[in-house]
Every structure is written in structure tokens, then in C-alpha cells.
Amino acid sequence: MATYSSTNGIKLISTGDEAGTWGTSSNVNWQITDVAANGFVSIALAATTYTLPVDAQPSAAQDGHYKAIKFTGTPGGTCTVTLEQNDRARMYMLVNSTNQTIIVTQGSGANVTISAGDSAIVLANGAGSGAAVELFSSNAAQLATIAVTVADPSNVGNRYYIDGALQQTVEIKPSITYRFDQSDTSNAGHPLRFSATADGTHATPAGTEYTTGVVTVGTPGSAGAFTQITLEQDAPQTLYYYCSVHPLMGGTVLGAYSSILTGVTSAIQTQIDGKQPVDATLTALAGLATGVDKIPYSTDTDIFSQLDFKDEDDMVSDSATAVSSQQSVKAYVDAAGLDFQTPAVTTSGSFVDFDSIPSTVTQIYVYFIDYRGDPTVRVQLKVGGTEVVTGYASSSGTSAAQVSATDGFIIYSNSSGSDQRGMMTLHKPASGIWVESHSIGLGASDASGGGTISGLGTVDGIRIKSSSGNFVAGKVSVSWQ
């Protein structure tokens, strides 16, 4: 004797049963299997209750066998959909395309509520009289509700207010459902619609209503009334919401990749449209004089001014409002005869020599760059390639301590051995006489001093020497003219 499966009531024919008629039963079984596996049916609801049929011993596929069901129609109120056979577990993919809420139930246990325009996957546990329906998955997380009200802001006619803001621009993203809730009584007589044309059908020439992905439910001004939209990836970048009955009520809807900036007024947008594209060659800066040979610079946050650009090797203009070219600076320095030497690293050894100073030099500059030599440093002139180690009258120090030397121009260093930064100048005022002065930063204090030496022959080099010990860090450099 045949039996039936527990979920879909598929007839299980026993051996030798239904001789001559088993083909009919088999075809019914295959029909049930087909719609239960991948079937879709649309059911129009016309009342507030509906029983989704699944017979215990079906003679044909029924609506309750379909895996995916779309409810349509106008139930006239919240509709309770009861799953027949409360002792059979089942799963459904449901779409509520009615204008009312649907409650899905199987027994006295939990129910699932699906709002108009929503969809859900539900599980019914088939537990008998206490059977429950639970939510397996839904699109609730992808639903954004926007409150819509209507008012006359200043005797100019009714306008839409979006979440309390007058004709606010709405920014939406593809694949997310946005519900414009029109349940507030102020919406009565003002159905909200969408168009790719500003002011929709009221424009000149008239636009058309945009309906792709749009669902309208209920009567504006009544509980549960809304218009919702889900943009596809290829939807227009800019849409407009408008009242299908009255002009000038609506505003702008921007897609996620709109080229218009959110919140920009038409007047500002006109100014933006007149600016250069970001990938164009810059031809002018707003608020600055245009012309050749100008260099902009910042004087404060978002405030700019300009300097003149000059290319003059002799720096004859001596301008406080002009910037020279690199070539001009180089030419000026070369003309001045200032000869810079390659800096020497002072991280080891006890002295550094700079030789080959021309006999015509009357000015020598020694630069200390984070240099250290403990406890004091000497700068000794060289004559005939040999350093002079006597005859100096030199002193250096801070307000707290002073040192002096006769074996070179001395530079004071504090006991902590701080890195030294500064410059020494050696000047030749007359034949055989050299006068020295210096100012050196020692970290927390400065050292300064000077000295003289006379009776020298032609100076052809200098030596920078750590008085007792080796160099520790930094560099020194020399230039002359």
C-alpha cells in the first residue's frame, strides 16, 4: 500500500501497487518535486486571511508546494497567511508585493511579519498545534526609512520636507531599499513619485515617471502609506522626487556616484561648473593677479599672495618682494668669489685639514654642523702646508666660563660634549695679520670669542683640531674668498 512523504506529500508507491495507473501518480510526484525545488507562483490576496494549501495526500501540485511565492493584490488590511498542515516543516521564500502587512503563521508559536514591499525567507518547524515560524533571512538590514511631511514654508505653496528638512537632497546607494514614509496626515493628496527630470511631469517639456525598482503602497496621509525605491547599478546618477498632483514640491535624489556635490545649491553649482577641470592645466588662481613671472605663496590658512620671479645674475634690484632663480643665485655667488669646499665628516680622528687655499684669499669661513670634539677645538692656520701652533691670542667662552689659547684659535665646549653648530670667520686686514671671531651654539648656551695672530707668511690651508681626543660626531666645512 502506498504511503506519503512527510513534507510535500509525495506518494511513495509500494512494490506491485497501482498496476496500470502508477504512471499518473509518478507524474504528480514529479510535478510536486519540480515546484518544491525551484518553483515560483504569484498569489493574489483579496482578504485579511489566507490559508496556503498543502494537502496531506495531494492529487496535484498545490500553491503551498512552491518554494518561492509572491503575494500580490489588495487584502484590505493586515493579512494572516496560515501554512496548512502544521505538522510539516517547510521553508519558503516570500515576497510581499501587496499594500498591506502580511503575518505568516503555522500554529500557536511565533509568527513572522513581512511589511509591504519587503521579502523574507521563513522556516516553519511543523511542531503541530504549537508550530512556529521564524525568520531565516530578510532584507530588513538593507531598508532605510525616510520620513516625508508636507507644509507651506512661507506662503509659496506646499513643499515636501524630508526628515524635517525642506526639499532636502537625498543621497541613496544602489541595491539598498529606501522607503519614503508618507503615513503622516500632511501627505494627504500628495503622492510622491520619481523622475529623471526635475519636477517630473510638471516640467517643460514634461518628464516621465521613473518606475524601475519603485513600489507604492497605500494612500498618502494614511497609516502604512509609502513609496520606496531600490536603485539598480545602472540607474541614473540623478533622480528627482516630486508630487504627481502639484508642481514645485520636490527635490533631488543623488545616486552613490553622482557628479554633483550633495547640498550644493544651483548658484554654487553654476560657479563650480565654471571652474577648470581638475585634470586641466592651471591658468589662474582666484583672487591673485595673473601675469608672467609670478610665484604664489601662503600667508595664512587658505590665504595666498604673490612674489615676483626674477632672473638677474647681479641681483641689482635688491628687491624684498622678489625670488631669484637658482641660476641667478649661483652666478651671484660665483661672481663674489666665494669658494665652498666639500664638508668633512668628523666622526673619528683628531683633526681635519683643508688645503690649497689661494694666496689671494682674505676671508675664510669655517662652518660647524652638529660637530663635537672634546673638550675644546682649535683652528690653526697653515703656511707652506704646515700648521702654525704658536703666536695666537685667542679666547672663547660663555657667560659662565672662559678659556684661552696660544696654539690656535680656540672654541669653548661645555663638559657635556654637546653638538656644536655655528660659524668662525677669519679675516686678513693686512699682510701677515689674521683676525678671528666666532659664535657657536652649544645646546643650552652659546659660546663666542675671537683672537688674532700676526707675522705670518702666505696662508695656504687650515686645520680643525680636537685638542685632546678624537672627533665624535657631525661635519665641518670651509669656504673662502
Domain of 366, CATH number, reads 2.60.120
When the pLDDT of each residue in the chain is averaged and rounded to a whole number, the result is 82
Which of 96-110, 151-165, 179-193, 461-475 has the lowest average pLDDT?
Answer: 461-475
Give the domain range for residue 392: 339-480
User: pLDDT tier at 259 (50, 70, 90 boundaries)?
Assistant: very low
* CA atoms 65, 71, 73, 79: torsion sign: positive
Q: What is the mean pLDDT of residues 229-255?
A: 90
User: pLDDT tier at 3 (50, 70, 90 boundaries)?
Assistant: low
Residues 460 and 354 in one domain: yes
pTM: 0.37
Residues 178 and 236 in one domain: yes
Residues 114 and 147 in one domain: no
* Domain C-terminal end among 88, 119, 138: 138
| pLDDT for res 200 | 94
Residues 282 and 240 in one domain: no
Residues 291 and 206 in one domain: no
Residues 403 and 318 in one domain: no
| pLDDT for res 141 | 47
Return the closest-CA partner of residue 365 out of 347, 387, 343, 385. Answer: 343
Which of 78-92, 262-276, 329-343, 439-453 has the lowest average pLDDT?
Answer: 262-276
* Domain C-terminal end among 268, 289, 314: 268
* b/e 246-272 (16+ beta carbons within 10 angstroms → b): beebbbbbbbeebeeeeeeeeeeeeee
Residues 348 and 253 in one domain: no
Residues 81 and 98 in one domain: yes
Q: Is the pLDDT of residue 278 over 60?
A: no
Residues 345 and 286 in one domain: no
Residues 328 and 438 in one domain: no
Q: What is the mean pLDDT of residues 403-417?
A: 80
Residues 215 and 306 in one domain: no
Query: What is the tally of structural domains in the chain?
Result: 4
User: pLDDT tier at 15 (50, 70, 90 boundaries)?
Assistant: low
* Domain C-terminal end among 138, 170, 185: 138
> Who wins on pLDDT, 1 or 48?
48
Q: What is the mean pLDDT of residues 29-36?
A: 76
User: pLDDT tier at 397 (50, 70, 90 boundaries)?
Assistant: confident
User: pLDDT tier at 422 (50, 70, 90 boundaries)?
Assistant: confident
Cα–Cα distance list, 343 to 346, 348, 474 (Å): 9, 14, 10
β-strand partners of 44? 72
User: pLDDT tier at 329 (50, 70, 90 boundaries)?
Assistant: confident
Per-residue pLDDT of 69-91, as tens digits, reads: 999 999 999 999 999 988 888 89
Q: Is the pLDDT of residue 409 over 90?
A: yes
| Contact yes or no for 147/183 (Cβ under 8 A) | no
Residues 361 and 388 in one domain: yes
Which of 143-152, 169-178, 184-193, 450-459 has the lowest average pLDDT?
Answer: 169-178
